[in-house]
Structure 1
Amino acid sequence: MSIFKDLLVTERIELDREVADWRAGIRVAGALLEKTHSIDSSYTDSMIASVEENGPYIVVAPGFAFAHARPSAAVHETAMSWVRLSSPVSFGHEKNDPVDLIVALAAKDANSHTKAMATLAKALGKYRQALNEATTPEEIQEILEKAAAGTPKRASADQNKNTENRKSESVQTNTRDKILTVCGNGLGTSLFLKNTLEQVFDAWGWGPYMTVEATDTISAKGKAKEADLIMTSGEIARTLGDVGIPVQVINDFTSTDEIDAALRELYDV
């Protein structure tokens, strides 16, 4: 079954929309979700309030904002909307402005959209130009399905017995073998970053031996002692402050190269 068949229907995709600013952009994305009765308007207000309170942490890659808020009674079904802007707008992000693509997520829980998030992260990292040039909602869906078809399943420990010593040979220091990815809500940008981080670990052969947990800012402070490090945005890093373990700022949540370089330095690989 198509990953995006129900999650991102064509009625929730709008291309080359003109908006005045980032708030208007999120409102358009929210209106598409409202139109299919996936959310109430209060959820759109919450997506805007999240940026006002936490800063532009949802701008997770150059030109891309992933709008979302916490699950609530205002969410009737897990759904996404897609708004490509005709003229980019500024969110105030130091590295990734201006934004010309806003994807909004409304999630009823933290699990129902995980496979789609992995596909979206890969699609934006590999097929961004094609997504920019698509002329119809159907083309957007086709590109996302192409990315999904090329996403391998994560290997299990049993499937990786031949590589079980690779991690111990590479890293000589004691580690907790766990990384936290953190955002304001614990199920949006943090899950996006988690998916890209797991791609890097899988490429290294470390996938079966590392735990990556997506969480929110409040929970992260309590869970920090269980982890080797935290990966997050600059805005969330400032909110967290000193949590007793390294906090690594990632600018492009779709970039396996940026995350690979950060991990190699942090784990001395």
Structure 2
Amino acid sequence: MSTLTSLLSENRIALDADADDWRSAVTRAGTLLEDTGSVDHAYTRAMVDSVVDNGPYIVVAPGFAFAHARPSEAVHETAMSWVRLARPVEFGHDRNDPVDLVVALAATDATTHTRAMAQLAKVIGKRATRHALDTAHSPAEVLTILDGRDGGSTDSTDSTSSTDTTGAGTAAEVSSSTADGGRYPGGNSRDHILTVCGNGLGTSLFLKNTTEDVLKRWGWDALVSVEATDTISAKGKAKDADFILTSGEIAKTLGDPGVPVRVVENFTSARAVDAVLRTLYAL
């Protein structure tokens, strides 16, 4: 699995870049990938089209958009670009606009970048590290921060960590609480959660990682599995899941898949995911 800094390079990082709107911001991120031979222009167009088709679902946290499209022949290598904007732009997201950081991913398949996505989710969710990235003076400094060599990325404070995400119960306690037939692991449950985005390989992985982190804090990580998938596949996979976690835009496209669909506004926030899970599991 690729790590975060192995997918970036100084010539794919632009700081204080100008963009008139979200299209030009995403295009700038795509151009950095094009200029280094990682993708063809068709992939940049596909990233823009994905937002046109699905709405601003790529804005997964306050001020942060994760641009991506499906693997295709236009992708020559798995790589990322990083664009910090001089002036924030609006993507049309109800909660997370305006955006001042756009990270783009080009992936040759659906698996090699998963470790990097987990690392990026943690980075974006930490106040100290995000502040350091927002004030970095050079691409080299960005890479140093992401690599943890400045100490910033060791800060484990979630930007919304004021909610306690522990105490949901041990495996034995959970098992004994299912007598009423509630949706708990081992009870009236499929023990499976779907996280969904338009393509199933970018933003849904952010949400999957955060959901798994919350379940681990609860002591439920061995009881409940989490799968990242795309909107089309989710409709078929829903019958094997307890519920779906996704963005507001994707929730609209899913309609009624036969299981509860819940919206998470900040995909990198343990507190946001914890609150949704507690509601769904009636804790």
Counterpart residue identity of residue 89, structure 1: V
1:101-152 C-alpha deviation (Å, 9 max, x unpaired): 000000011110111100100000012212111111122222222277789x
CA contact (8 A) 1:15 1:137 kept: yes
Shift of 1:31: 0.7
CA contact (8 A) 1:123 1:143 kept: no
Counterpart residue identity of residue 75, structure 2: V
- The range that moved more, 5-14 or 183-192, is 5-14
1:206 equivalent in structure 2:
220
- 2:53, 2:277 → 1: CA distance? 29
1:50-94 C-alpha deviation (Å, 9 max, x unpaired): 000111110111111000000000000000000000100001111
Alpha-carbon RMSD: 1.8
Aligned residues: 258
CA contact (8 A) 2:4 2:120 kept: no
Aligned partner of residue 208 in structure 1, secondary structure: coil
- 1:219, 1:108 → 2: CA distance? 19
- The range that moved more, 139-148 or 78-87, is 139-148
Going from structure 1 to structure 2, the CA distance change for 1:5 and 1:233 (only over 3 Å counts) comes to: closer
Identity %: 62
- Structure 2: unaligned runs, 5 residues or longer: 157-169, 183-187
Going from structure 1 to structure 2, the CA distance change for 1:251 and 1:79 (only over 3 Å counts) comes to: same
Structure with higher helix content: 1
Correspondent of 1:230 among 235, 244, 269: 244
Counterpart residue identity of residue 98, structure 1: P
Counterpart residue identity of residue 268, structure 1: A
Aligned partner of residue 96 in structure 1, secondary structure: coil
1:122 equivalent in structure 2:
122
1:157-181 C-alpha deviation (Å, 9 max, x unpaired): xxxxxx5425424665211111000
2:144 equivalent in structure 1:
142
Going from structure 1 to structure 2, the CA distance change for 1:8 and 1:245 (only over 3 Å counts) comes to: same
- 1:196, 1:2 → 2: CA distance? 19
Going from structure 1 to structure 2, the CA distance change for 1:168 and 1:138 (only over 3 Å counts) comes to: farther
Going from structure 1 to structure 2, the CA distance change for 1:2 and 1:189 (only over 3 Å counts) comes to: closer
Aligned partner of residue 103 in structure 2, secondary structure: strand
Does residue 1:168 correspond to 2:168, yes or no? no
- 1:37, 1:66 → 2: CA distance? 20
2:202 equivalent in structure 1:
188
- 2:67, 2:120 → 1: CA distance? 14
1:251 equivalent in structure 2:
265
Aligned partner of residue 190 in structure 2, secondary structure: coil
TM-score by length of structure 1 reads 0.91
1:21-75 C-alpha deviation (Å, 9 max, x unpaired): 1110011100110111000000000000000011111011111100000000000
Shift of 1:262: 0.7
Counterpart residue identity of residue 132, structure 1: D
TM-score by length of structure 2 reads 0.87
- 1:171, 1:249 → 2: CA distance? 25
